[in-house]
Structure 1
């Protein structure tokens, strides 16, 4: 027996404010995953500073990892603050922290091996674009 749909019943509203929050969370998750993948690629492909094969300098020393981790932690806190209290001030903090994290990752582009450099640059470019286009303040 088939269930009949009553067109007079109130249908759920799929495009309410929660829909915007879900889109924002999806973008944040995508950005976070891409950022982590880029960071891990750079982390595991660096050379030791003492290695004669290391023409890039001290990419393998780990100092940049600590700096990037700090900015990622700050950005993650800003995302959480905005998710809990979506105000224009928290939106500005979210975007600022995200920009700082992207800038830190960009500053270590020389640590990315040549074969992965295009993918790294595209991921950074896409992340900047998504952050700039984020409509969290509206």
Structure 2
């Protein structure tokens, strides 16, 4: 569980950084994303729910908390995929691989 939570935190930080810098006024994404689109704000609700669920599960590793954590992580990854249209083409493969790795790790978590 501990290594999974560390991996989750790493992905959360990586996605947030990647998405906050993915599109700028000088470099719009391939999907034509708005230059003023704030990725951090876009994923903030999901990130907050995921963070709270991870903390609850780490403090009390019950089946209920595990399922809540898995659901929150799934929602976060879905939201990250929903806005991937603005990831620069040069970063797209790494972005997709990170989401796929996270999904695989999530699938491996048994509650």
Pick the TM interval, shorter chain. Answer: 0.7 to 0.9
| Greater relative contact order, per chain length (Cα 8 Å cut-off, separation 6+) | 2
Q: Count residues in correspondence.
A: 109
Query: TM-score w.r.t. structure 2 length?
Result: 0.87
CA RMSD, aligned part only?
1.7
Point out the structure with max Rg over C-alpha: 1
Q: Which has the higher helix share?
A: 2
Q: Is the counterpart of residue 44 in structure 1 residue 50 in structure 2?
A: no
Structure 1 CA distance, aligned partners of 2:67 and 2:10?
A: 21
TM-score normalised by length of structure 1: 0.71
Deviation at 1:35, TM superposition (A): 2.8
* Farther-moved stretch of structure 1 (111-120 vs 81-90): 81-90
Q: Which runs of 5+ in 2 are unaligned?
A: none
Question: 2-side partners of 1:60 and 1:121: how far apart?
Answer: 23
Deviations 1:59-79 (A, max 9, x none): 6421x4213121111111111
Are 1:61 and 2:40 an aligned pair?
Answer: no
Q: CA deviation at 1:31?
A: 2.3
Aligned mates of 1:89, 1:28 — CA distance in 2:
16
Q: Check the 8 A contact 2:77/2:99 in 1, yes or no.
A: yes
4+ long deviations beyond 3 Å:
none
Distance 2:14 2:55 in 1: 21
Q: 1:89 to 1:133 in 2, by over 3 A?
A: same
The gaps in structure 1 that reach 5 residues or longer are 1-23
